[in-house]
Amino acid sequence: MIRQKRQQRRHKHSILSLVTLLLLATAAGCNQATQQTQTQQTQEAAAPQQSEQIRVVATFLPMYWFTRAVAGDRAQVEILVPPGTEVHDYQATPTDVQAIATADILVKNGLGMEDFLDSTIQNAGNPNLQQIDASSGIETVGEISPVESAGGHGHSHDQGDSDGGNPHVWLDPVLAKQQVENIRDGLIAADPANKDAYQANAAAYIQQLEQTHNQFQQSLQQYPNCTFITFHDAYPYLANRYQLQQVAVVEIPEDQPSPGDIQRAVNAVKKYDAQAIFSEPGVDNSLIQSLSQDLNLTVYSIDPLEAGPTDPQHYFTAMSENLQTIESACQ
């Protein structure tokens, strides 16, 4: 009888233990489910940030570089004019209109560089579009860089340029710094939630621009008044910054210089006692090479930075190569 009661107690104890284990397992399962739910909710709360990023359109390559450098991963940035395409003569496409129609911000160089923009913006019909003029506040060059008459060429930086002045300010690292600051301030105004990121990204890029300026200044100070002939009026800011002299025989480049361009180059070399001739990538240099042999001058290739990779760091690679080119030409 006593043994039977002991067995009953043991049986009840076993059942009780089993129930306790089941309850603990259920509680643990609930805890795990709760944690998984909380984790999932946290991830879902974070996920919309990607879709809520502001959409930014930059007009052409240098503006894309600067904007992408400042925006980092806090904004979606795309480029309108494909790298290597002549911006001065660019004709907008329906895709460009759509890009501007759905953008929050448009970043442009200004100074008449993007003549195609006015009608494109109008066609896009985006009343909420905010525009950042990267050249705002920049003092444009006057008659500091001789430009030989372009004769039959109908292109001019003055045409359609309500602000006046040459638009190629990004080729001067000091003015490029000002453009980055303008882009930074515009992004902060449009997206204040990411102010700290924009400021930090801009500061890092500006530091590199300052280093580039210092390199140009230290290297070129030994070549004051070095004069070079160009077939594109793109380098007056750079020349003025570092006490050089650009003489442009063509304001806006063609695929191939005309015989008239070559004759103007001959006259300019003699008139200004030029030390070198600069051409650019993508230009047929056969006539220029022939000219250089006749004048006993070397033709060098200089980059206006309108083509190349979309990595913002390429600005510094290309500018370093330009510095080496100018040094070689001026020696």
pLDDT at 327 over 60: yes
Inside any domain, residue 201: yes
Cα–Cα dist 61/83, whole Å: 6
**What b/e string do you get for 215-225 counting C-beta neighbours within 10 Å, with b at 16 or more?**
ebeeebeebee
Inside any domain, residue 11: no
pLDDT at 323: 98
Q: Which residue has the higher pLDDT, 194 or 261?
A: 194
- CA angle (239, 220, 176) in 5-degree steps: 50
Q: Residues 192-238: pLDDT tens digits?
A: 999 999 999 999 999 999 999 999 999 999 999 999 999 999 999 99
Inside any domain, residue 153: no
Domain with residue 254: its CATH number is: 3.40.50.1980
pLDDT at 294: 86
Residues in a beta bridge with 131: 106
**Total structural domains in the chain?**
1
Inside any domain, residue 26: no
Q: What is the distance between the terminal CA atoms of the chain, rounded to a whole angstrom?
A: 118
> Do 118 and 92 contact (CB within 8 A), yes or no?
no
Inside any domain, residue 257: yes
Inside any domain, residue 259: yes
Inside any domain, residue 286: yes
Mean pLDDT of the chain: 84
Residue 136 is part of which domain span?
55-146+165-330
pTM of the model: 0.81
Q: Which residue has the higher pLDDT, 289 or 46?
A: 289
In the predicted model, what is the mean pLDDT of residues 261-281?
A: 92
Residue 133 binned pLDDT confidence (cut-offs 50, 70, 90): very high
pLDDT at 164: 57
In the predicted model, what is the mean pLDDT of residues 134-156?
A: 71
Inside any domain, residue 183: yes
Q: How far is CA 126 from the centre of its chain?
A: 23
Nearest CA to 65 out of 88, 81, 50 is that of 81
Helix (H, G, I), strand (E, B) or coil at 82: coil
Which residue pairs, CB below 8 angstroms and at least 24 apart, start in 211-219? 212/173, 212/316, 212/319, 212/320, 213/173, 213/174, 213/177, 213/241, 215/320, 215/323, 216/173, 216/241, 216/242, 216/319, 216/323, 217/242, 219/323, 219/327
